[in-house]
Structures are given as structure tokens and as C-alpha cells.
Amino acid sequence: MPRLILVRHGQSQWNLENRFTGWWDVDVTEKGAAEAFAAGVLLKEKGVLPTVAFTSVQTRAIKTLHLVLEAAGRLWIPETKDWRLNERHYGGLTGLDKAETAARHGEDQVKIWRRSFDTPPPPLEAGSEFDLASDPRYAGIAIPSTESLKDTIARVLPYYETAIVPALRAGETVIVAAHGNSLRALVKHLSGISDADITGLEIPTGQPIIYELDDALAATDRYYLSER
């Protein structure tokens, strides 16, 4: 049966600093690297070994993938990087301290920006310090200025269908190392979670989530590998 492994990147520097990160490229911390390596050790111990890998074009996810694969003895498997697996773009909130933002705009407004399904944060201004227009990894891509979770799902799911589904249908054990919101998109789809409920789903860093799938790629089980 096809199997899908989802791993959210290990703790990043801006996770630690409680800042909105989104598409900005931030590295993992020492703790985040250790979380990723431990995830790979767990995969090896449990005999859940990926045969093909997908990740975003963001450093924290790529490093997490490589540390997971190193620990699992699987650095050699094919991997594909794509911006459509990036984190949700937090627009004008990028780089801001979450507590300071709540103090400035109010807890209720920040909660709407963070947790509503289809209300995006204010757009990032062109030319701001977090403008990615000159980043070569996004050459030729229409970089969003902000995204809601709904917007994020609208780019993640078509990529899943065109790139990841064929690998699963071919019998591969697929690992996706990505981000809280891009993984929410996949979990929502695979587990049939409602628009209202998906915003409250927390995905912890560095904890492999396993999907057992049937031949039609419908989920028959979802669990944290650490709990089996």
C-alpha cells in the first residue's frame, strides 16, 4: 500500500524569536536540526524508509529533509524542490514579533490573520526589506504579496496531484518535508477536514506524520510515528 510521510521543518530561528516568517528564508536552530535528525532516526528504527522526497525551496525545510534522510540512511534518494510547497506568505506581517503585533493591532485581528481560512494579512509592500522580487529562486514566478490558508491550499493541492500523486501511484514511499501551512493543506485534503476545523490543527516541528493509503490514495490511517 502507498505510504506518505509528512514532516514539518525543525524549529527555525524565527520560530524561536516568535516572528512571522512565511516566505522569508530563515535557517533552523540547533534544536531544529536535532529535531530533524531525531525524526530520521525514528524512521530508520521503525523501518519506514522513504524512497522519494519532496520539499520547498526554503532553507529550513531543505535542511530538515537532508538531516532526516541522513539519519535514516537515505540521502541518496531522488528529491524535488518546488516553491508551491513553501510556507504561507504572511505579507506585511513578515518579520514582525507576534506579541508586538497583537499589542499594536489587537489579539482579535491578529487571530483573524493567523487563523481564519480565507482572510489574508495585509500585503507586503513592494521594495520592503522582505521583498523577494530579486531572489533568484523565484525568477519567473508571480510572487504573492500575501496569502490566506485558502490561497496556500490553492497552490499546494494542484502540485500534490501533478507531482506527488504519480509517485504514490508508482508504489513509492514519499516523504514531504515542508511547513505548517503547506502541510495543513495536505492533511485537510487527505483527512477531509473542514475549512473551519483545519485552522485549529497544530502540526509540531520534526514529528513524522504517517499516512497509510489505499490503492485509490484514500487515507486508511493517519498517525504520529512516535506513537506507534
- Name the grid cell of 219: 487515507
28-80 pLDDT, tens digit each: 999 999 999 999 999 999 999 999 999 999 999 999 999 999 999 999 999 99
Question: At 67, is the secondary structure helix, strand, or coil?
Answer: helix
Window from 22-26, 90-94, 104-108, 165-169 with minimum mean pLDDT: 104-108
CA distance 87 to 101: 20
Contact 126, 133 (CB under 8 A): yes
**CA-to-CA dists, residue 57 to 19, 60, 114, angstroms:** 20, 9, 22
Confidence of residue 105 (pLDDT cuts 50, 70, 90): confident
Which candidate in 35, 66, 79, 87 is catalytic?
87
Q: Quote the pTM value.
A: 0.96
Contact 149, 175 (CB under 8 A): no
In this prediction, residue 199 carries a pLDDT of 87
CA distance 144 to 87: 12
In this prediction, residue 171 carries a pLDDT of 95
- Tell me the pLDDT of the chain averaged across its residues: 96
Contact 178, 85 (CB under 8 A): yes
Which candidate in 9, 66, 89, 179 is catalytic?
9
89 is a catalytic site residue:
no
Contact 149, 178 (CB under 8 A): no
CA distance 3 to 137: 30
In this prediction, residue 94 carries a pLDDT of 95
In this prediction, residue 167 carries a pLDDT of 98
Question: At 213, is the secondary structure helix, strand, or coil?
Answer: strand
9 is a catalytic site residue:
yes
Percent of the chain with pLDDT over 90: 91
Question: At 19, is the secondary structure helix, strand, or coil?
Answer: strand
- The mean pLDDT of 94-119, rounded to a whole number, is 89
Q: Which amino acid is at 161?
A: E
